[in-house]
Amino acid sequence: MSKSRILVIGVGAFIGLIVFAFVARQTLVVFDHAYRTPVEADHPDRTPAMQGEADSRAAQAEKQRKQPLAEHGVPLKDVEYRAFPGVGSRVAIWSVAQLHLLFAAFVLAVPIFALIIELIGYFTGDKRYDRLAHEFTKLLSVSFSLTATLGAGLTFMLIILYPRFTQYLMHVFSPTFLPYVLLFFLESGFLYAYYYGWGKFPPVAHLTLGIALNVVGTGIMVIANSWLTFMMSPSGVSESGALISTWQAVDNYTWMPINVHRFIANVAFGGSIAAAYAAFKFLHATSDEERAHYDWMGYIGNFVAIIAFLPLPFAGYWLAKEIYAYSQTMGLTMMGGAFSWLFIIQAVLIGCLFIGANLYLWLGMGRIEGAQRYKGYIKYLLFVIAVCFAVWATPRSPITTPVEVREMGGSFHPVLGKLGVMSAKNTAVNLLILTTYLSFLIYRRSGITPTVSWARRGKALQLLTFIASAGVVISLGVLGYFVPTTVRIGLSVPQVISVLAALVVVTAIDILMFRGAETVGETRWGQMPAISQYILIFIAVTFTWLMGLMGYVRSGLRQHWHVYGVIRDTSPDAFTPTLGFATKVVSVNVLLFFILIALVFWLSGLSSKKDWRARGTDAS
């Protein structure tokens, strides 16, 4: 008998046995159980959503009743809310604000991104970078006008739908509006000059223009951030909401962390959208040359996205810490109360991001000759990533049926319950970051071999750093189970520091070690399986979705307050909706964003199309 025969028989028998057992069990169950009615309540509880609908209906009826009086018009200051038809005010504002923010993030990210690439091109003299930066900037002008339009829409809707609240916010922030508008004006000037002046200015002048554009753009974001962070953690006002100091109102607890968090996230987001654009172009490319270019562009975009993404959790820690510092109540609502399950969803999203990013790197190794020697490591990396992902996504008290509760003897599983706590999750996240970076290192060196004399020692040192960092992370994680809470919370800081230190040390060694490295295998750009490009798009979708979700948390944390602790939300929408509802709205927003971004891609692609008349002559 041939070897393959034996193989087929062996494997077939094993799988067949399992399938048979499964089918047999299922059959037995079907024939054993008389059908019993499922347990279904025939009267749903009165949920806040229903209550809200009922309230707004009642308000409508009341309005109808009072119609004759209102005919002469109601003075503005008496109106607290107006209703948006169909979806309601909250969802309308939510969608418009989110789209505005997504585009704004894109518009702010692309210049940063283009500037970095242009700088690289300038210093390395590689023309490819310059071309790439220019191509990115092409996406800007359409996005910029869309952002402005959405922003204007948002402002109008706020004034119309939430007049009292908007009035208050305008009162507090009145001194910031003029600088904002001026900056906006400057932004458009710099932006168009930067784009249209490509190649027309001397390189240094153009770069200066790029820097100015970014400074102005960041300024716009920082001002806008002050408004929304004020809503979350107001300061500079008295208890009753009277303004004491505008500067204090701007410089509130969450302002700086949000600025930093958004800046980094914008870079990552811009990178991922640029990569998605490249992937889109790659898939529709007709020539090898084009494919090579877009493959490379996608790689750079994704690289920037992932590098920016790695420190994001730390910025997130800072934000969360400031939220706790501002209001323990809000912090606990976030982590332990109504939003605690949202972080399980977040874990799923970030887990998907990590897996996607790593998969892209591994696939990328396929286009490098000589990467074969590293292929065997993939499964171990994947194993670590999957386990960390699973730990991170493990809920502290899972959803259970009564039978399961009885079997577990409580709402915590004796084994899994230990994975659901902060110590385990921090450890998992830090290990995820380390592993992903390891993946990247392997990718980086797959085509090259160091020539320096201390290469072996350098590699050993790098490995040692990784092991030491992982050791610190794990042992601190374990220690977390045995120390009091006050100590435990502090443990995440050394964990993070050890990971960051490891990243820095390893990178430094790597750069030194591969200086003048010998190339063993050429990177064949464009030789990428199509699946990798779909992964880039998947990463972009995931990233957008994640931004939408986290935006909801930040905003939803205020619960029934417009301005936390100052202006109460008394509208029928004052309740906090279910996570299922929120995820649906986020999904719709993400889809809308991608429809619009497709429009942007199409519009910006028009310029490179052949002239209509030229085509006409070709045909004739």
Partner 1 sequence: MKNAAWKWIVLVAPFVMLLPEPAAAAELELGTDAQQKAGKVVYERYCSQCHGTEGDGKGYAASHLRPRPRDFTSGKFKIRTTPSGALPTDDDLRRVIRDGMPYTTMIGWPNLSDQDVTNVIYYIKTFTKDFKNRDYYAQPIAIPEPPPHDADSAKKGREVYLQMECHRCHGDQGRADGASAPSLVNDAGEPILPADLTKRWTFRGGPARRDIYRTFSTGLNGTPMPSYADSLTDTQRWQLVDYVYSLGAADTPNYAERVVSRSIADDLDMTKGEALFDGAEGAFLPLFGQIVEPGRAFHPNATGIEVKAVHNREHIAFLLRWNDMRADRTGENSPALEAPETTETVEEAASQASSTEESDPFADAVEPEVAGDATDDFFSDDGSAETASGGEAGFSDAVAVQFPAALPDGIRLPYFIFGDPDNPVDIWFADLAKPAPQRFVGRGSRSVAPGNPDGLEMTASYDAGVWSVIFKRKRRQEDAMAIEGGQWYPVAFSVWDGLSGDRGNKRALTRWYYIYVEPAETVGPLRPMAKAAVATFGIEIVLIALIRRKHKNGVSIPPTNP
Partner 2 sequence: MNIVVLVLGATAFYTIVGQLVPQKEVPAPEVIEISKDVTTEEMVEIGKGIAQGKGTCLTCHTIGQSGSLRFPDLDGIGTRAATRIPGMSAVDYLAQSLYEPNAYVVEGFNPGMPVINKPPIQLTDDEILAVIAFLQSLGGTPSVTMETKLSINGGAGGDSTATATAALVQEAASLDGKALFERYGCARCHATTLPGKRLDRAEVLASILSPDSITTLAGAEQAKKRQAMEQSGVYDKATLQEIDRIVDYLMEQKAKE
Partner 3 sequence: MNLLVVLPILVALGALRLLKAGLLAWMIALWMAIYLTLRYGFAVPIPASVITLYMGITTMALATYVLSSRERFASCSRPLIALVVERRLRTLLIVVVLGLPLLVAARIYTNMSQPLQPPSFARTVHPAPPSEPITVRGQTFDLNAVENPFRNLEKSDPSQFRVHVENGRRVYYQNCVYCHGDNVQGDGLFAHGVNPIPTNFRDSGTIAMLQEGFLFWRIAKGGPGMPGEGGPWESAMPAWENFLTVDEMWDVILFLYDHTGQRPREVEEHAK
Residues forming the site for partner 2 (CB under 8 A): 47-49, 51, 239, 280, 283, 324, 327-330, 332-333, 336-338, 341-342, 344-345, 348-349, 399, 484-486, 488, 534, 537-538, 541-542, 545, 559-561, 564-566, 569, 574-584, 586-587, 590-591, 594
Evaluated on CA atoms 141, 142, 148, 151, the torsion sign reads negative
Q: Is 41 in the site for partner 1 (CB under 8 A)?
A: yes
User: Which of 146, 142, 139, 140 has its CA nearest to residue 280?
Assistant: 139
Among 38, 125, 199, 580, interactor with partner 1 by CB under 8 A = 38
3-state SS class at 70? helix
Q: Is 507 in the site for partner 1 (CB under 8 A)?
A: no
Residue closer to partner 3, measured from CB, 410 or 616: 410
User: Which of 263, 268, 274 has its CA nearest to residue 301?
Assistant: 274
Binding flags for partner 3, 515-554, as an x/- string (CB under 8 A): --------------x-x-----------------------
Least Å distance, CB 509 to partner 2, is: 37
**What is the spatial distance between Cα 299 and Cα 442, in angstroms, rounded to a whole number?**
15
Residue closer to partner 2, measured from CB, 216 or 275: 275
Least Å distance, CB 431 to partner 3, is: 15
Among 1, 29, 34, 39, interactor with partner 1 by CB under 8 A = 39
Cβ-contact 573, 89 below 8 angstroms: yes
Residue closer to partner 1, measured from CB, 44 or 85: 44
Please identify which residue in the block is written with the tokens 């509208």: 571
Residue closer to partner 2, measured from CB, 498 or 533: 533
Residue closer to partner 3, measured from CB, 365 or 472: 365
Which residues 339-398 are close enough to bind partner 1 by CB under 8 A? 366
Binding flags for partner 3, 38-77, as an x/- string (CB under 8 A): xx--------------------------------------
Burial class (CB in 10 A: 0-12, 13-18, 19+), 129: buried
527 Cβ neighbours under 8 A, 6+ residues apart: 295, 366, 367
481 Cβ neighbours under 8 A, 6+ residues apart: 418, 421, 423
Instruction: Give CA separation, 136 vs 141, 274, 287, 514, in Å.
Output: 10, 7, 20, 30
**What is the spatial distance between Cα 491 and Cα 393, in angstroms, rounded to a whole number?**
20
Q: Is 616 in the site for partner 3 (CB under 8 A)?
A: no
Q: How many residues bind partner 1 (CB under 8 A)?
A: 10
Which residues 591-610 are close enough to bind partner 1 by CB under 8 A? none
Please identify which residue in the block is written with the tokens 């934000």: 319
Q: Is 483 in the site for partner 3 (CB under 8 A)?
A: no
Least Å distance, CB 482 to partner 3, is: 15
3-state SS class at 206? helix
Cβ-contact 425, 391 below 8 angstroms: yes
Token couple for 93: 């504002």
**What is the spatial distance between Cα 498 and Cα 294, in angstroms, rounded to a whole number?**
36
Least Å distance, CB 390 to partner 2, is: 15
Residue closer to partner 3, measured from CB, 34 or 595: 34
3-state SS class at 563? strand
Q: Is 78 in the site for partner 1 (CB under 8 A)?
A: no
**What is the spatial distance between Cα 254 and Cα 347, in angstroms, rounded to a whole number?**
23
**What is the spatial distance between Cα 574 and Cα 589, in angstroms, rounded to a whole number?**
21
Cβ-contact 278, 298 below 8 angstroms: yes
Token couple for 84: 């948006």
Q: Is 409 in the site for partner 1 (CB under 8 A)?
A: no
Buried/exposed code over 321-337 (b: 16+ C-beta within 10 A; e: otherwise): bbbbebbeebbebbeee
Among 363, 474, 489, 517, interactor with partner 3 by CB under 8 A = 363
Residue closer to partner 1, measured from CB, 37 or 240: 37
The entry of partner 1, partner 2, partner 3, none near residue 333 (CB within 5 to 8 angstroms by kind) is partner 2
Least Å distance, CB 24 to partner 1, is: 19
Q: Is 401 in the site for partner 1 (CB under 8 A)?
A: no
Element (H, E) at 371: none
Binding flags for partner 3, 376-415, as an x/- string (CB under 8 A): --xx--xx-xx--xx--xxx--xxxxxxxxxxxxxx-xxx
Least Å distance, CB 36 to partner 3, is: 5
**What is the spatial distance between Cα 450 and Cα 455, in angstroms, rounded to a whole number?**
6
Start-end of H helices in 66-88: 67-70
Q: Is 484 in the site for partner 3 (CB under 8 A)?
A: no
Stretch that binds partner 3, among 126-134, 326-334, 359-367, 610-618 (CB under 8 A): 359-367
The entry of partner 1, partner 3, partner 2, none near residue 527 (CB within 5 to 8 angstroms by kind) is partner 1
Residue closer to partner 2, measured from CB, 304 or 342: 342
- Tell me the residue type at 495: Q
**What is the spatial distance between Cα 94 and Cα 339, in angstroms, rounded to a whole number?**
17
Stretch that binds partner 3, among 178-186, 196-204, 361-369, 610-618 (CB under 8 A): 361-369
Residue closer to partner 3, measured from CB, 177 or 534: 534
Least Å distance, CB 532 to partner 3, is: 9
Burial class (CB in 10 A: 0-12, 13-18, 19+), 155: middle
The entry of partner 1, partner 2, partner 3, none near residue 181 (CB within 5 to 8 angstroms by kind) is none
Strand partners, 561: 568
User: Which of 134, 112, 131, 130 has its CA nearest to residue 121?
Assistant: 130
Residue closer to partner 3, measured from CB, 415 or 595: 415
The entry of partner 3, partner 2, partner 1, none near residue 53 (CB within 5 to 8 angstroms by kind) is none
Please identify which residue in the block is written with the tokens 């932006």: 191
The entry of partner 1, partner 3, partner 2, none near residue 43 (CB within 5 to 8 angstroms by kind) is partner 1
First and final CA of the chain: distance in angstroms?
67
Which parts of this chain interact with partner 1 (CB under 8 A)?
A: 35, 37-43, 366, 527
Query: Which residues contact partner 3 by CB under 8 A?
Result: 6-7, 10-11, 14-15, 18, 23, 26-27, 29-30, 33-39, 351-352, 355, 358-359, 362-363, 365-366, 375, 378-379, 382-383, 385-386, 389-390, 393-395, 398-411, 413-416, 529, 531
